[in-house]
């Protein structure tokens, strides 16, 4: 321990802190191969989604003369039941499906996470009210509930996002509340309240960073489930509406091709391709989440 | 001394612990010899390797530790080379252990008596009924209330002091040859500590067990041990019979272990009160915790609030800070009444009363750096940002005697004493008039305690701070207080100048509290047990 010597900021020299970008670079270098693979998958999907109009050989809803055309140089993956190019629809589908799933998941975390934190800090009647409301919502089978609401309000993309987000936010609420409760009783939260900090600061700066690992893990999982829910709803016909392309409905529309496996193996693979696209993104997201959890558990490993 | 007399022989023992930077030594070649029925005290600051040595005496290495060299011979059995099943048969029967936190060591889902006799029954030393009858007799001799039925309770249904005595009964129940006590009274307040110490000493003496008693409190170990061994950085500093060591320690380091007890600030009076608590009643729900409490804090002085746990000390702090609005009564600050609830107080009122907590670990957000922790009140109350903020943080670090490069550290990269210093800096950053210190030194070693207390006193001199100092430790009170408030069961027993309160005659409760503070005298425990008829 140094005895009192006057230390000025200038004399203390340059700080050893690294910039955010540098730290990210170092973390990436140390990341395991699975995390790299996950990142590559996600970046590839995002690129495809953003650049869809440039990459796709044909329009999203452009109809060609021959329905169920086999794989060819013109239509690499053939055409669907009304003659739309499957590759193009697959590429546009990334846009719709990922965009809606991401928006839905973010919204679910905003609602569920925000209310969960508020319930954990406020306790008392607010907690009771929110928790019981969530219990009621969770008691209804979510897919059937979503189907019902969508048929009442109409199957627009906006309704789809709102309804799935609200239903999914119940799980996020449960998780956030339970992990935040144990952080909310810490002395540093009390210290922040004694300082006079508002609810927003306590939530964002004192509690959120300390519950981030389980919440981010849940984000990865939720994203995949939302993806699957949208795909299921689309498969049932109330999800993303035609002519917008989406992987769930593409599976449904071309499902019958599987029966022709003995005549044309490639055509039979067609419905499996959008399904594989869904599977691959979920795997990629979870690799990245696993890596994050691993690094977050050590608080800081670049010392 | 014949060889059959020797129960435990440790020779040049070395233990290593694993950390991120690889294996590093914890115990560096320690010898230890223990005769049958003898009690050895192990003492040192935290990190000295006391617990590791105590566990190694049982042939046990904690996860992440390994015994790399030396021998541990227990009654002719080489515990370093013994197989796991062999050691398992000894543990809990011939070698037993009493842990620091009884609450964390009991299985919450099993009845006390089942846990007390588990080891004896498992090894077939006794039948269940026989062992249970013996356990009830032990409960009685350890002065537990209702010895016949207390064993049917679950751990959460008895107090901390009672649980610690049940654990002692558990350790004695199989009639072991050696009991290792690992800081068994550190978590208890002084009045409870006396009862537990007496019970443990009695149990060990009556049943002729040898014991290793680990603690950082020399006054406590003086009551228990025949011989004392002082450890530092994993090596022995000195070893001597208890009376010899207390009378004439050979090493300066040994003397520094009780230096905090020698601090004694002359009390100063002051007429001008910065903070007064007037006739406060407070309750949690319907349970009244404070009953007509009045306390006066003179400006630039330190008022110590003492009392055992549950006496309402911390609740008083919660009333002052506004966390718990009182049912009746007021808190005045500089003569003006403070709004009872936190939410109704202005930013400036909040700034002027700061708080420092007992557990620095939980008082700092583990995700924030020192700069963020100290810097937040600077930004929040004084609007400092950027370079000005950083300069002020460095300046505050200097005031608490930490170097400027600590600014980027996370709490997990600080020692216990450094953490408490950062908490002090956070309180100073607000530029308060009053700091409430809630048991700020009780989780720290004696040497670190002394440094923190000296720092607090220097800051008081420099900045005219007033402290409301909550503690159960009388040595701390002597070191820092100008005035003392004695609390018991939500009442103020007395308030007055330090010299007046500490000098007789005392009200009954003050006398009990004062006489419960362990003294550096091996006969102290015997003396007070006779005085109180606890024998």
Strands (E), chain A: none
CA distance A121 to chain B (A): 14
Q: For residue A4, how many other CB atoms are within 10 A of its CB?
A: 10
pLDDT at residue B260, rounded to an integer: 67
Q: The tokens of B101 are what?
A: 């936190």
Chain A contact set for B413 (CB, 8 A)? 303
Distance separating alpha carbons of residues B64 and B23, to the nearest angstrom: 9
Is the domain of B182 the same as that of B302? no
Is the Cβ pair A196, B345 closer than 8 Å? yes
Q: The tokens of A253 are what?
A: 């529309």
- Classify strands B273-284 and B287-298 as parallel, antiparallel or unpaired: antiparallel
Q: Is B472 within a domain? A: yes
Q: Is B374 within a domain? A: no
**Chain A CB within 8 Å of residue B345 CB:** yes
**Which of B380, B361, B357 shows the shortest CA–CA distance to B418?**
B361
Q: The tokens of B295 are what?
A: 């306390």
Q: How sure is the predictor about B25, in pLDDT bands with cuts at 50, 70 and 90?
A: confident
Q: How sure is the predictor about A11, in pLDDT bands with cuts at 50, 70 and 90?
A: very low
CA distance A31 to chain B (A): 18
Is the domain of B354 the same as that of B252? no
Mean pLDDT of chain B: 87
Is the Cβ pair A194, B350 closer than 8 Å? yes
Is the Cβ pair A12, B394 closer than 8 Å? yes
pLDDT surpassing 60 at residue B360? yes
pLDDT at residue B3, rounded to an integer: 63
**Residue of A152 and B268 predicted with greater confidence:** A152
Least confident range from A66-75, A291-300, B230-239: namely A291-300
Task: Write out the residues of chain A at the interface with chain B, using a CB-CB cutoff of 8 A.
Answer: 1-9, 11-12, 15-17, 186-188, 190-191, 193-197, 205-206, 209-210, 299-300, 303
Is the domain of B253 the same as that of B321? no
Nearest CA in chain B to A12: B404
Residues with Cβ < 8 Å from B99, sequence gap 6 or more?
B105, B167, B182, B184
Is the domain of B7 the same as that of B119? yes
pLDDT at residue B302, rounded to an integer: 93
Bridge partners of B215, per DSSP, are B43
pLDDT at residue A3, rounded to an integer: 41
User: What DSSP letter does each residue of B395-433 carry, written as one string?
Assistant: HHHHHTT--GGGGG--GGGS-HHHHHHHHHHHHHHT--S
Q: What domain count does chain B have?
A: 2
- Residue B451 near residue B415 (C-beta atoms within 8 A): no
Report how many helices (DSSP H) and strands (DSSP E) chain B contains, helices first.
21, 20
**CA B86 from chain center: how many Å?**
35
Distance separating alpha carbons of residues A75 and A82, to the nearest angstrom: 14
Q: Is B439 within a domain? A: yes
- Residue B432 near residue B354 (C-beta atoms within 8 A): yes
Distance separating alpha carbons of residues B251 and A100, to the nearest angstrom: 73
**Which of B446, B449, B423, B318 shows the shortest CA–CA distance to B361?**
B423
Tell me what the mean pLDDT of segment B159-176 comes to: 87
Is the domain of B294 the same as that of B158? no
pLDDT digits (tens, 9 = 90+) for A234-251: 878 888 887 888 888 888
Q: Is B449 within a domain? A: yes
Q: Is B64 within a domain? A: yes
Question: Helix, strand or coil for residue B333?
Answer: strand
Q: Is B392 within a domain? A: no
Is the domain of B58 the same as that of B131? yes
Distance separating alpha carbons of residues B264 and A133, to the nearest angstrom: 59
Is the domain of B20 the same as that of B85? yes
In which region does residue A302 sit, left (phi positive, over 0), alpha (psi from -120 to 50) or beta (all else)? alpha
Is the Cβ pair B342, A190 closer than 8 Å? no
Is the Cβ pair B359, A187 closer than 8 Å? yes
Q: Is B382 within a domain? A: no
Question: Helix, strand or coil for residue B279?
Answer: strand
Q: The tokens of A197 are what?
A: 């900090």
Q: The tokens of B269 are what?
A: 């009076």
**Which of B170, B171, B166, B190 shows the shortest CA–CA distance to B103?**
B166
- Residue B442 near residue B474 (C-beta atoms within 8 A): no
H or E element in which residue B493 lies: strand B491-497
Is the domain of B239 the same as that of B110? yes
Which residue has tokens 């599976």?
A: A251
**Which of B381, B292, B284, B297 shows the shortest CA–CA distance to B332?**
B297
CA distance B386 to chain A (A): 12
**Residue of B19 and A218 predicted with greater confidence:** A218
User: In sequence order, which ranges of B82-159 are alpha helices (DSSP H)?
Assistant: 84-90, 102-105, 112-122, 128-141
Distance separating alpha carbons of residues A47 and A94, to the nearest angstrom: 10
Q: How sure is the predictor about A17, in pLDDT bands with cuts at 50, 70 and 90?
A: low
Is the domain of B245 the same as that of B324? no
Is the Cβ pair A188, B365 closer than 8 Å? yes
Is the domain of B242 the same as that of B296? no
Is the domain of B304 the same as that of B214? no
CA distance A300 to chain B (A): 9
Chain B contact set for A1 (CB, 8 A)? 401-402
**Residue of B176 and B512 predicted with greater confidence:** B176
Is the domain of B243 the same as that of B125? yes
Domain region containing B79: 3-258
Distance separating alpha carbons of residues A76 and B233, to the nearest angstrom: 73
Q: Is B141 within a domain? A: yes
pLDDT digits (tens, 9 = 90+) for A66-85: 887 888 888 888 888 888 88
pLDDT at residue B252, rounded to an integer: 84
CATH number of A32-297: 1.10.3720.10
CATH number of domain containing B193: 3.40.50.300
Is the Cβ pair B380, A190 closer than 8 Å? no
Is the Cβ pair A210, B366 closer than 8 Å? yes
ipTM computed for the complex: 0.73
Mutual angle of helices B160-172 and B112-122, in 10-degree steps = 20
CA distance B496 to chain A (A): 29
Is the Cβ pair A188, B363 closer than 8 Å? yes
Which candidate in B364, B374, B383, B404 is best for mutational testing of the A interface (most A CBs within 10 A)?
A: B404
């Amino acid at each position: 321990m140094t005895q009192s010597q006057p230390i000025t900021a200038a004399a203390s020299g340059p700080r050893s802190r690294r910039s955010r970008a540098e730290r990210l670079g170092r973390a990436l270098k140390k990341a395991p191969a699975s995390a790299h693979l996950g990142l590559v998958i996600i970046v590839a999907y995002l690129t495809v989604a953003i650049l869809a109009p440039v990459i796709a050989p044909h329009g999203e809803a452009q109809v060609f003369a021959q329905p169920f055309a086999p794989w060819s140089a013109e239509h690499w993956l053939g055409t669907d039941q009304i003659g739309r190019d499957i590759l193009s629809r697959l590429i546009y589908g990334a846009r719709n499906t990922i965009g809606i799933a991401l928006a839905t998941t973010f919204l679910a975390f905003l609602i569920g996470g925000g209310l969960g934190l508020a319930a954990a800090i406020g306790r008392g009647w607010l907690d009771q009210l929110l928790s019981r409301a969530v219990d009621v919502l969770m008691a209804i089978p979510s897919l059937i509930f979503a189907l019902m609401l969508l048929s009442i309000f109409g199957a627009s993309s906006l309704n789809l996002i709102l309804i799935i987000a609200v239903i999914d936010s119940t799980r996020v609420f449960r998780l956030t509340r339970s992990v935040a409760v144990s952080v909310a009783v810490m002395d540093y939260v009390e210290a922040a309240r004694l300082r006079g900090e508002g609810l927003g600061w306590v939530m964002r700066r004192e509690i959120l960073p300390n519950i981030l690992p389980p919440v981010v893990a849940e984000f990865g999982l939720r994203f995949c489930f939302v993806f699957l829910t949208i795909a299921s709803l689309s498969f049932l016909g109330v999800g993303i509406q035609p002519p917008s392309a989406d992987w769930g409905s593409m599976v449904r529309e071309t499902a019958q091709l599987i029966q022709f496996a003995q005549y044309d193996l490639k055509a039979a693979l067609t419905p499996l391709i959008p399904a594989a696209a869904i599977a691959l993104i979920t795997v990629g997201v979870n690799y990245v989440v696993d890596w994050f959890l691993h690094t977050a558990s050590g608080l800081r490993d670049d010392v | 001394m014949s060889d059959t007399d020797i129960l435990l022989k440790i020779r040049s023992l070395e233990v290593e612990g694993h950390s991120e930077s690889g294996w590093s030594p914890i115990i560096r070649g320690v010898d230890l010899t223990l005769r049958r029925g003898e009690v050895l005290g192990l003492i040192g600051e935290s990190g000295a390797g006391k617990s590791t040595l105590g566990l190694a005496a049982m042939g046990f290495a904690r996860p992440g530790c390994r015994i790399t060299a030396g021998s541990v011979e227990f009654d002719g059995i080489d515990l370093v080379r013994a197989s796991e099943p062999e050691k398992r048969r000894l543990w809990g029967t011939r070698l037993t252990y009493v842990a620091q936190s009884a609450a964390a060591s009991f299985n919450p889902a099993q009845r006390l008596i089942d846990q007390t006799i588990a080891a004896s029954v498992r090894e077939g030393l006794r039948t269940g009924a026989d062992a249970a009858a013996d356990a009830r007799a032990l409960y009685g001799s350890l002065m537990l209330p209702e010895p016949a039925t207390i064993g049917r309770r679950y751990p959460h249904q008895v107090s901390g002091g009672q649980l610690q005595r049940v654990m002692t009964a558990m350790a004695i129940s199989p009639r072991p040859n050696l009991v290792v006590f690992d800081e068994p009274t550190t978590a208890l307040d002084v009045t409870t500590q006396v009862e537990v110490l007496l019970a443990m000493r009695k149990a060990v003496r009556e049943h002729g067990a040898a014991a290793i008693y680990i603690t950082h409190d020399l006054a406590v170990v003086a009551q228990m041990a025949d011989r004392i061994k002082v450890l530092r950085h994993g090596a022995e500093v000195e070893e001597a019979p208890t009376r010899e060591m207390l009378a004439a320690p050979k090493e300066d380091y040994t003397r520094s272990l009780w230096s905090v007890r020698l601090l004694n600030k002359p009390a100063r009076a002051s007429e001008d009160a910065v903070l007064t608590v007037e006739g406060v009643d407070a309750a949690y729900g319907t349970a009244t915790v404070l009953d007509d409490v009045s306390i006066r804090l003179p400006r630039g002085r330190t008022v110590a609030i003492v009392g055992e746990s549950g006496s309402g000390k911390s609740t008083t702090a919660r009333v002052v800070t506004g966390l718990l609005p009182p049912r009746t009564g007021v808190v005045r600050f500089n003569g003006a009444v403070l709004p009872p609830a936190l939410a109704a107080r202005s930013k400036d009122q909040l700034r002027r009363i700061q708080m420092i907590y007992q557990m620095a670990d939980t008082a700092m957000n583990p995700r924030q750096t020192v700069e963020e922790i100290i810097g937040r009140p600077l930004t929040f109350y004084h609007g400092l940002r950027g370079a000005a903020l950083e300069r002020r943080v460095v300046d505050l670090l200097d005031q608490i005697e930490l170097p400027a490069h600590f600014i980027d550290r996370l709490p997990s990269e600080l020692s216990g004493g450094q953490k408490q210093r950062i908490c002090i800096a956070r309180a100073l950053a607000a530029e308060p008039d009053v700091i409430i210190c809630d048991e700020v030194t009780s989780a720290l070693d004696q040497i670190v305690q002394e440094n923190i207390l000296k720092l607090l006193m220097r800051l008081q001199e420099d900045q005219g701070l007033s402290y409301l100092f909550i503690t159960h430790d009388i040595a701390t009170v002597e070191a820092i207080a100008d005035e003392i408030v004695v609390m018991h069961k939500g009442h103020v027993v007395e308030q007055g100048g330090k010299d007046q309160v500490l000098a007789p005659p005392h009200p009954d409760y003050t006398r009990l509290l004062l006489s419960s503070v362990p003294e550096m005298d091996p006969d102290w425990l015997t003396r007070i047990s006779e005085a109180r008829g606890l024998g």
